[in-house]
Amino acid sequence: MAEDERQRMQGEIDRRDELIARQSAEIALLKQAVDALTRRIFGAKSESLDPGQLELLLDPDASKKAPAAAPEGPGPAAEEDHRPKPGKKPRQPRIPEHLPVIEEILDPPEVQADPAAWRHIGEEVREQLDYRPGRFLRRRLVRRKYVRKADPLAKPVIAGLPPSIQERCIATPALVAEVVAARFADHLPYYRQAGIFARQGVSLDRKTLCGWALLASEWLSAIYRGIEAEHRACGYLQIDETPIRYLEPGHGKARNGYLWTSNIPGGSVLYRWHEGRDQGALTGLLGDGGMERIIQCDGYSAYPAWSRGKPGVTLAGCHAHVRRKFFEAQDQAPKLVGWILRQIGHLYRIERRLRQTRAGPALREAVRSSQSRMIHARLKKLFDLLARRRSILPQSLLGKAVRYALNQWPNLEVCMADGRVEIDTNLVENAIRPTKLGTKNWIFVGRETAGEKTAILYTVVENCRRLGIDPRNYLENVLTRLPAMKAGEAASLTPANWLKARQAARQRAA
C-alpha cells in the first residue's frame, strides 16, 4: 500500500515537472515574441504603436478601469456656425499672364519656298504652359496664315500643328516630365508639387498633375512593353514583391495591392502591378514559364507553387534571408548563433573579393567550388544536427531559423553550382527601396488601374537612374518624339537604347 502511494506521489511530481517545463518553454517563446515585437516597434523600423496598446501590454487591467467622465454640454462641433460661407472663387486663367513668353513662328512650306509670293493676313496662336527647372514660361506657337497675292480669293494656307501628346493640353512635354520626375524620382506627392508651383505664381490642381502623369504613362507603355519583353526572354531573374495600398472605389478605404519587381543583375528592372500576392502575379510577370531560367527569390510559397510542373525553372535561394532569421534569434543562443553568423560572414567576404576583382561567372563558380562550398557543407551539417535537438523548440526563433534554412537549402546550393547567380537577392530589394520611399510620402495610389500606371512610370524612372540618366531630360525628349513615331519604333527609346544612341551621336560629333 505504501509502495502504491509512493508511485502515485511520484507520478504526480512527474506531471507537475512536465507542466512546469511546458509552461517555462511557453514563457520563453512569449518573451522572444515580445522582444521581437519591441525591436520591430522601437528599433530601426520606427513604426509607431498606439500608447493605449502599449499600456494594455504593460497593465492588463487597464481596460477594466473606469473611463474618464465626459464633459457636460455640447462640444464645439455641436455649436451652430453663423459665419458666412465664402463665395465661389473667381476662375483663374489657364495660363497666368505674368509669365515670360517664348514665341515660335511656323510658316507653311509653300510660304517658305517663295515668301515674296504671299501676303500675311492673320495668324492662329496656340498657347501652352512650358517649364524650365525653377521657372515657368509661356510658350506661344504662332501659326501664320497666308494668302497668295496673285489669287487673294483662294483658300489661305497655314502650317500644321506638330504632333503632341494630347490635343489642347496646356502642358508641354517638359512640364509633364517635371511632374513625373518629381513624383517618381524625388517622391513628391502631387499636393507638394502644387504647393511648389503656387509659390512660383502658377496655380495647378492636384487632379491636373495626376492627369498629366497618367497621360505620360499611356505614352510610355510602349517602352515599358519593350523592357517587359527583355525580362521574359532573360534566363536569370531576381524577383520580389512589396505591398502598396490603393483606394477601393465606393468603400472609402484602402486595400493592399502588390508591386512585383523583376531585376536583371547588371541590367534593367521591371515593376508589375498585381492586386494580389498569389502565383497568378508571376504568370503575368513571366508568362507560362516554358523556357529554361533561374528565378532567385525568398522562401515565399507562391514561387514554388508557380514553378511546380515547370521542369525548366530553377529556384535559387537568398543567403541574406537566412542570415536575417539567425540574427533575430541571437539572444536565444548567442554563442551558437554567433558562430553561424561568422560562417555566413566568411561567404560574404569571398563574394566581396569576387566583386572587387570584377570576376566573371566562370571564375566565380571556380572560387565558390574551392572556398565557399566547404563552408556551406559545415553549415548544413550543423543545421541537420540542430533540427534533431529536442531542446530547440520548433516555434522558437532559433527553431524557425533552422527550419527555414533547411527548407531553402536546395535553393541555396544553386549559387554554388552557377557563377551567374548572386549570393542573395539584395539587388532586387535595392530596386524596391525607391518605391517604399514613395509610399512613405504619398501613402497610397488611386484605384487598381492607377497601380498599373505607377508600375510603368517607376520602371522607366528607375532604369534611368540605374544608367545615370537624368529622368527629367529623358522624359522630355521621349515624350516629344513619341507622338511622331510609329508604335513599333518605341522600343528603340528604352533608357538603355536611348543612352547608346546618345553616346554614339557624341562619338560621331567628336
Cα distances (angstroms) measured from residue 459 to each of 90, 153, 273, 351: 40, 55, 11, 28
Identify the pLDDT of residue 118: 94
The yes-or-no verdict on residue 79 having pLDDT over 70 is no
The yes-or-no verdict on residue 101 having pLDDT over 70 is yes
pLDDT > 90 fraction of the chain, expressed in percent and rounded: 62
The yes-or-no verdict on residue 110 having pLDDT over 80 is yes
The yes-or-no verdict on residue 219 having pLDDT over 90 is yes
CA distance 484 to 26: 69
Confidence of residue 58 (pLDDT cuts 50, 70, 90): very low
Stretch (H or E) spanning 335 = helix 334-356
What is the mean predicted confidence (pLDDT) over 90-111? 88
Identify the pLDDT of residue 53: 39
Q: Which domain holds residue 413?
A: 318-424
Identify the pLDDT of residue 67: 47
Q: Where are the beta strands (DSSP E) in 149-224?
A: 157-158
The yes-or-no verdict on residue 263 having pLDDT over 60 is yes
The yes-or-no verdict on residue 262 having pLDDT over 50 is yes
What is the mean predicted confidence (pLDDT) over 281-299? 88
Q: Which residues contact 222 (CB under 8 A, 6 or more apart)?
A: 482, 487, 490, 491
- Residue 211 belongs to a domain: no
- Residue 490 belongs to a domain: no
The yes-or-no verdict on residue 91 having pLDDT over 90 is no
Confidence of residue 192 (pLDDT cuts 50, 70, 90): very high
Identify the pLDDT of residue 85: 59
- Residue 375 belongs to a domain: yes
Q: Report helix, strand and coil shares of the chain as percent, to nearest 5.
A: 55, 15, 30
- Average pLDDT, rounded, for the chain: 86
- Residue 431 belongs to a domain: no
- Residue 371 belongs to a domain: yes
CA distance 276 to 306: 14
The yes-or-no verdict on residue 198 having pLDDT over 80 is yes
The yes-or-no verdict on residue 176 having pLDDT over 90 is yes
Identify the pLDDT of residue 322: 96
The yes-or-no verdict on residue 66 having pLDDT over 90 is no
What is the mean predicted confidence (pLDDT) over 226-249? 91
Number of domains in the chain: 1
- Residue 387 belongs to a domain: yes
Phi, psi of 8 (to 5 degrees): -65, -45
Identify the pLDDT of residue 203: 93
What is the mean predicted confidence (pLDDT) over 401-422? 95
pLDDT > 70 fraction of the chain, expressed in percent and rounded: 87
- Residue 48 belongs to a domain: no
Confidence of residue 92 (pLDDT cuts 50, 70, 90): confident
What is the mean predicted confidence (pLDDT) over 357-377? 95
Burial class (CB in 10 A: 0-12, 13-18, 19+), 206: middle
Cα distances (angstroms) measured from residue 209 to each of 170, 179, 181, 246: 12, 7, 12, 18
The yes-or-no verdict on residue 73 having pLDDT over 60 is no
The yes-or-no verdict on residue 385 having pLDDT over 50 is yes
Confidence of residue 86 (pLDDT cuts 50, 70, 90): low
The yes-or-no verdict on residue 78 having pLDDT over 50 is no
Strand partners, 129: 138, 171
What is the mean predicted confidence (pLDDT) over 309-316? 92
Identify the pLDDT of residue 393: 86
Amino acid at 354: L
Between these two residues, 446 and 178, which has the higher pLDDT value? 178
- Residue 380 belongs to a domain: yes
CA distance 396 to 337: 13
